[in-house]
A and B are shown apart, each in its own frame.
Chain A
Amino acid sequence: MREITESTIHAVETKARSLRRHIISMLGEAGSGHSGGSLSAADIVACLYFWEMNVDPHEPHKPDRDRFVLSKGHAAPVLYAALAEKGFFPVIELDSLRKLGSRLQGHPDMNKLSGVEASTGSLGQGISWAVGMALAERMNGPDRYRIYALLGDGEIEEGLVWEALMAAAHYKLDNLTAFLDHNRLQIDGPIAEVMSPEPVADKFRAFGWETLVIDGHDISQIMQALELARSTTGRPTAIIADTVKGKGCSFMENKAEWHGTAPNREQTIQALEELEVSPQRA
């Protein structure tokens, strides 16, 4: 599965489209939640779960599994979509998102849902977990598994993120790969206006990370970046993924208002129609 061929690329693209459809339907059903940042990360998460990572829904706790930490925990819908599609729980359960008693909490809860590796939602903390997991992997014996994290570009305004990045480089954690979902929007507006973290690639490099900049909606670029990360030794790899917030849903794309808003019934139908017909390519 880990070859980069037209057919593997196509297979992951198809999965990404399914994830987007799940995201829209579950948010529509829930009536609240984070649309934009779930959609912008769909291609990255599809690539991780359906091409890159060694995870098994039948053995969710196997010791040598790869770990994914959704540091931008508000994008829980994209994680739930991937876990359901992978077989960790029935797809129908996605409809319980954000409802009382559900395993699908508004932000991921590792004690409720197996497959969730870290309870996140408070921004900045997930990347620290990922560094801890990478340190543990090192202690357990090298090259058994890899750790992946996904950060938001507003999230990296948290000082904690930079403390974690510093530690990862200091400990030469080449088993750790962090994606930055660089969609250029946070809640209050464009990151450039609210609190600019730019130039982000220079900052990751200055913090000692191997740093790649790619189109975060181009599956083959994501795959190639992951290959490079695997072959990089002596330091962690950051993949700065240029993305579009709300990607795949015309009326949500590049709109800060869709950060924490769910589609209503008509919008859900429209979004699902768009995702059915248009192939999900950048």
Chain B
Amino acid sequence: MEKQATRDAYGKALVELGRKYGDVVVLDADLSKSTKTADFAKVFPDRFINAGVAEQNMMGMAAGLAASGKVPFASSFAIFATGRAFEIVRNSLAYANLNVKICATHAGLTVGEDGGSHQSVEDLAIMRCVPNITVVAPADGVSTRQAVAAVYHHPGPVYLRLGRPAVPVIYDESLSFRIGRGIVLRAGKDATLIGCGIMVAKCLEAADRLRAEGIDVSVVDMHTIKPIDRDLIARKAHETGAILTVEEHSVLGGLGGAVCEVVCEQFPVPVMRMGINDQFGQSGTPDDLLEYYGLSVAMIMANTRILLSKK
């Protein structure tokens, strides 16, 4: 199976974007080799700004650039882009509704060996609750490439969440990525698995294996966490009567939280949330960590069976 890290796709997409649009500028905070903005820096050194280890100033400068007509893409690890720089993002970017794209890599547990201090399991929640910010977490390299282009054309501040490890490519070029529109990847009548980011591939694998057991689940790639696709969630609640959310993020406030809000208000059915259970990560290989924190295909299958018993 072909694999690509979403951060690698991001680096390549930035170069394509830079070729097409002269107003694209890229900022980084001393992590350009890891976030892959170095790809852009190599081709467009004059449109690349390294802030050094200074994420707050990076976001502040991005605000100034955006206020002057540029379209800044500001990158760092998710923990620092949304954590260290939070209040600058909130007041300078979101409150002022500036056209800045916060593209953060190394989100979630799959940062791996660097450990809990570097694994952001709360970034979706904190970005989602800030007015004006659009929140996107693509599932693979192909959708990331399209998402980067979509994000460029989408006015206002956007948070794009990207990952470190290579993950299965699940789309081909026929994909037509639209911000705010979830993608139904599998039809099914017994339950719906709603995933985002790197968990979508695991949902697909779980769905295929459940089918062999005679359990027929639908799979949705909910790449846009905000504004979330309310219609699709309500429709799936209605059609399948049970929903399992799966994210590489805390179960509080991210995809699971957003889906629950919609289900409660629009079509109450049993929901289970899979994610990190209100705890910090730790050092380990990405695969070991996903397994340890219960984000495996086997756990998705097991939780689906439990969910069905609640219908």
Interface residues of A (CB under 8 A from B): 30-33, 73, 98-102, 104-107, 109, 119-124, 154-155, 157-159, 186-188, 191, 194-195, 197
Contact (Cβ within 8 A) A119 B284:
no
Contact (Cβ within 8 A) B288 A154:
no
B-chain residues with CB within 8 Å of residue A122 when the two chains form the complex: 79-80, 83-84, 117
Partner of A106, one of B38, B57, B84, B283: B283
Interface residues on B, range: 20 to 34
| Closest Cβ–Cβ distance, residue A276 to chain B (whole Å) | 27
| Closest Cβ–Cβ distance, residue B211 to chain A (whole Å) | 32
A-chain residues with CB within 8 Å of residue B34 when the two chains form the complex: 187
The reply to whether the CB of B169 lies closer than 8 angstroms to some CB of chain A is no
Q: 20 other contacts beyond A99-B283, A109-B117, A121-B117, with CB at 8 A cut-off?
A: A33-B113, A99-B284, A100-B282, A102-B283, A105-B115, A107-B114, A121-B118, A122-B79, A154-B52, A154-B53, A157-B30, A157-B51, A159-B54, A186-B53, A187-B31, A187-B33, A187-B34, A188-B28, A188-B38, A195-B30
Question: Could you say which of B52, B56, B288 has the most chain A C-beta atoms within 10 Å of its C-beta?
Answer: B52
Task: Assess A100 versus B115: contact at CB under 8 Å? Given A105-B283, A186-B52, A195-B53.
Answer: no
Task: Assess A188 versus B30: contact at CB under 8 Å? Given A105-B282, A195-B52.
Answer: yes
**Nearest B-chain residue to A105, judged by Cβ:** B115
B-chain residues with CB within 8 Å of residue A194 when the two chains form the complex: 30, 50, 52
Contact (Cβ within 8 A) A107 B30:
no
Contact (Cβ within 8 A) B53 A158:
yes
> B32-91: which residues lie under 8 A (CB-CB) from chain A?
32-34, 38, 50-54, 56-57, 79-80, 83-84
Contact (Cβ within 8 A) B53 A109:
no
| Closest Cβ–Cβ distance, residue A53 to chain B (whole Å) | 24
The reply to whether the CB of B97 lies closer than 8 angstroms to some CB of chain A is no
Question: Could you say which of A30, A119, A158 has the most chain B C-beta atoms within 10 Å of its C-beta?
Answer: A158
Contact (Cβ within 8 A) A188 B50:
yes
Contact (Cβ within 8 A) A107 B282:
no
Partner of B292, one of A100, A104, A154: A100
**Nearest B-chain residue to A125, judged by Cβ:** B84
A114 to B288, CA, bound (A): 25
Contact (Cβ within 8 A) A106 B115:
yes
- Produce 1/0 per residue, B15-37, CB < 8 A to A: 00000000000001011111000
B-chain residues with CB within 8 Å of residue A104 when the two chains form the complex: 283
Contact (Cβ within 8 A) B113 A158:
no
- Produce 1/0 per residue, B270-302, CB < 8 A to A: 000000000000111100110010000000000
**Nearest B-chain residue to A106, judged by Cβ:** B115
**Nearest B-chain residue to A197, judged by Cβ:** B52
B-chain residues with CB within 8 Å of residue A120 when the two chains form the complex: 117
Closest 4 CB pairs of A and B: A195-B52, A100-B284, A121-B117, A106-B115
The reply to whether the CB of B116 lies closer than 8 angstroms to some CB of chain A is yes
A32 to B164, CA, bound (A): 14
**Nearest A-chain residue to B31, judged by Cβ:** A187
A-chain residues with CB within 8 Å of residue B117 when the two chains form the complex: 73, 105-107, 109, 119-122
Question: Could you say which of B57, B113, B118, B285 has the most chain A C-beta atoms within 10 Å of its C-beta?
Answer: B113
B-chain residues with CB within 8 Å of residue A157 when the two chains form the complex: 30, 51-54
Partner of B116, one of A99, A109, A188, A191: A109
B-chain residues with CB within 8 Å of residue A73 when the two chains form the complex: 117
Task: Assess A188 versus B31: contact at CB under 8 Å? Given A102-B283, A122-B84, A158-B53.
Answer: yes
| Closest Cβ–Cβ distance, residue B262 to chain A (whole Å) | 34
Task: Assess A159 versus B56: contact at CB under 8 Å? Given A33-B113, A107-B114, A187-B30.
Answer: yes
A-chain residues with CB within 8 Å of residue B112 when the two chains form the complex: 32
Contact (Cβ within 8 A) A98 B115:
yes
A-chain residues with CB within 8 Å of residue B51 when the two chains form the complex: 157, 195
A148 to B151, CA, bound (A): 46
A45 to B154, CA, bound (A): 50
Question: Could you say which of B28, B284, B288, B292 has the most chain A C-beta atoms within 10 Å of its C-beta?
Answer: B284
| Closest Cβ–Cβ distance, residue A87 to chain B (whole Å) | 23
> B227-273: which residues lie under 8 A (CB-CB) from chain A?
none
Listed by A's residue number, 24 A-B pairs whose Cβ atoms lie within 8 Å are A31-B113, A98-B113, A100-B282, A102-B283, A104-B283, A105-B117, A105-B283, A107-B115, A107-B117, A109-B117, A119-B117, A121-B114, A121-B117, A121-B118, A155-B53, A157-B53, A159-B54, A186-B53, A187-B30, A187-B31, A187-B33, A188-B32, A188-B33, A191-B52
